[in-house]
Amino acid sequence: NLSDRITASLKGLRGHGRLSEADVDKTIREIRRALLDADVAVPVVRDFTGRVRERALGEEVSKALNPAQQVVKIVNDELVDVLGGATGELTWAKNPPTVIMLAGLQGAGKTTLAGKLAKWMKDQGHTPMLVAADLQRPNAVNQLQIVGERAGVPVFAPEPGNGVGDPVQVALNGVSTAQFQQHDVVIVDTAGRLGVDEEMMQQARDIRDAVHPDDTLFVVDAMIGQDAARVAEAFRDGVGFTGVVLSKLDGDARGGAALSITGVTQRPILFASTGEQLGDFERFHPDRMAGRILDMGDVLTLIEQAERTFDQAEAEKTAKKLQSGQDLTLDDFLGLMQQVKKMGSLKKMLGMMPNMGQFRDQLDSFDDSQLGRIEAIIHSMTPAERSDPKLINGSRRSRIAKGSGSTVQQVNQLLENFKNAQQAMRSMGRGGGGGMPGMPGM
């Protein structure tokens, strides 16, 4: 699979030192082959490998990373980029209901997705309604009704026994009914065909023009491989869509279709469908998908490396102290800040990791110039003040401010941060240590 292939292609780069052009080209060739084998569209592969090559050759080799890690990082960054960068969002209408139209081939997973999306929204306090505008297949309306029932969401369907209805009219009536009944979201399920077909596109366009969707989601089976780019282009040109839902991601095919579709259409993948049950549904996170494609093993070694930089002895000393119930002093605080600085590139590395979101905000608010100020202020304190900050009254504050070239306000801010860190450490100490000792309250 794609992740194994890419990882294998990086094995040859184990040594240290600068990346040679020959090394880079050999690796790029392997990555190209792996992507093509995973059915990624040719133009996307070409763009992707071109950018990775350029960066791999152009970038200074970081001292902290070996060449393989360096390339992993570049490939990861570029994967995230092709996959759309940040996690995509739905467009909410200023005047409800928000209208979401689903489009895609027959069997892509639209009807299933309609139920999943409705349930997901309902769980967040929305009041979605489903509209059965697929009148192509005899059973389609009934299928949506079953899905709606499972999700606990009402379904607008044409009256049975009225002959072949008009899907455009059904869609329109559905949206106005939803508006009248004050649903805040309407999800319009539409008909697909087994292949790209002009009549289907025309019908989807007519529905689109009738209901003016806030988002049109192109639902596509992640298993269709080679065809993904072509089908996505056909829907982009035939109906137009604002976002993609990748279905059947529970299967083997991972990443290939995702890369092709986002690479070719530049539209974000908003959701992933991962099974036949209503709950098999998640938001799509480009960084996690990149991680899956790359198999985070190598990136994890980056983290290990950063952790080694973190001074183990220093950390243990602090941990012991806290466990013994002693309070954090300003000296400890400074030591911790310096550890964070030593880990410098950790911020970037954490940025590459899935599930690290909770640390990202903390890290973003911390920069090196801030650390310099903290050092200056603490160094302007006497040892007595550092171990017992309560001593630091008004006149001491202005002395410390003068001595460190700061304002009294900045001294106050630091003392405030310190107090928070002390409190956080107290509760961590009670919890038996652990956590990340390098990030007290910043």
- Chosen from Mg ion, ligand GDP, none, partner binding at 406 (C-beta under 5 to 8 Å by type): none
Residue 62 assigned to a binding site: no
Asked if 233 touches ligand GDP (CB under 6 A), the answer is no
Residue 258 assigned to a binding site: no
Tell me how many residues contact ligand GDP (CB under 6 A). Answer: 18
> What are 99's strand-pairing partners?
186
Asked if 247 touches ligand GDP (CB under 6 A), the answer is yes
Residue 190 assigned to a binding site: yes
| CB closer to ligand GDP, 114 vs 439 | 114
CA gap 25, 417 in Å, rounded? 49
Q: What are the distances in angstroms from CA 229 to CA 106, 170, 290, 392?
A: 17, 31, 18, 66
From 96, 107, 225, 403, residue interacting with ligand GDP (rule: CB under 6 A): 107
CB 110 → Mg ion: shortest distance, Å?
A: 5
- Chosen from Mg ion, ligand GDP, none, partner binding at 250 (C-beta under 5 to 8 Å by type): ligand GDP
Asked if 12 contacts 23 with a C-beta cutoff of 8 angstroms, the reply is yes
Task: Using alpha carbons, select from 124, 137, 114 the residue that is nearest to residue 184.
Answer: 124
CA gap 158, 143 in Å, rounded? 13
Interface with ligand GDP by CB under 6 A: which range of 16-24, 60-68, 110-118, 303-311?
Answer: 110-118
| CB closer to ligand GDP, 199 vs 276 | 276
CA gap 343, 338 in Å, rounded? 9
From 276, 331, 364, 368, residue interacting with ligand GDP (rule: CB under 6 A): 276
Enclosing H/E stretch for 43: helix 42-58
Q: Segment 159-218, which members bind ligand GDP (CB under 6 A)?
A: 192
Residue 104 assigned to a binding site: yes
CB 189 → ligand GDP: shortest distance, Å?
A: 7
Side chain identity at residue 159, one-letter code: E
| CB closer to ligand GDP, 46 vs 137 | 137
Enclosing H/E stretch for 132: strand 128-133
Compute CA 386 distance to the chain's CA centroid, rounded to the nearest angstrom: 42
Q: Any alpha helices (H) in 266-393, and if so which ranges?
A: 286-294, 297-309, 312-323, 330-342, 346-352, 357-364, 368-379, 383-387
Interface with ligand GDP by CB under 6 A: which range of 67-75, 117-125, 247-255, 364-372?
Answer: 247-255
Buried/exposed code over 159-173 (b: 16+ C-beta within 10 A; e: otherwise): eeeeeebebbebbbb
- Chosen from Mg ion, ligand GDP, none, partner binding at 438 (C-beta under 5 to 8 Å by type): none
From 225, 240, 275, 435, residue interacting with ligand GDP (rule: CB under 6 A): 275
CB 253 → ligand GDP: shortest distance, Å?
A: 11
Residue 244 sits at φ, ψ, to 5 deg, of: -120, 145
Asked if 111 touches Mg ion (CB under 5 A), the answer is yes
Here the contacts of 141-148 (C-beta below 8 Å, separation 24 or greater) are 143/111, 144/111, 144/114, 144/115, 144/189, 147/111, 147/112, 147/114, 147/115, 147/278, 148/114, 148/115, 148/118
Residue 39 assigned to a binding site: no
From 32, 73, 119, 248, residue interacting with ligand GDP (rule: CB under 6 A): 248
Task: Using alpha carbons, select from 256, 276, 364, 289 the residue that is nearest to residue 37.
Answer: 256
Asked if 274 touches ligand GDP (CB under 6 A), the answer is yes
Residue 429 assigned to a binding site: no
Asked if 260 touches Mg ion (CB under 5 A), the answer is no
CA gap 388, 245 in Å, rounded? 57
From 67, 88, 97, 109, residue interacting with ligand GDP (rule: CB under 6 A): 109
Interface with ligand GDP by CB under 6 A: which range of 102-110, 227-235, 257-265, 349-357?
Answer: 102-110
The 10 Å Cβ neighbour count of residue 369 is 7
Residue 106 assigned to a binding site: yes
CA gap 262, 85 in Å, rounded? 10
- Chosen from ligand GDP, Mg ion, none, partner binding at 255 (C-beta under 5 to 8 Å by type): none
Instruction: Note if the bond before 97 is cis, omega within 30 degrees.
Output: yes
| CB closer to ligand GDP, 174 vs 192 | 192
CB 136 → ligand GDP: shortest distance, Å?
A: 9
CA gap 225, 376 in Å, rounded? 58
CB 11 → ligand GDP: shortest distance, Å?
A: 33
| 3-state secondary structure at position 316 | helix
- Chosen from ligand GDP, Mg ion, none, partner binding at 158 (C-beta under 5 to 8 Å by type): none
Asked if 119 touches ligand GDP (CB under 6 A), the answer is no
Asked if 98 touches Mg ion (CB under 5 A), the answer is no
Residue list, annotated binding site: 104-111, 189-193, 247-250
Binding residues for GTP, by number, are 104-111, 189-193, 247-250
What residue ranges bind ligand GDP (CB under 6 A)? 104, 106-112, 192, 219, 247-248, 250, 273-276, 280
Q: Which residues bind Mg ion (CB under 5 A)?
A: 110-111
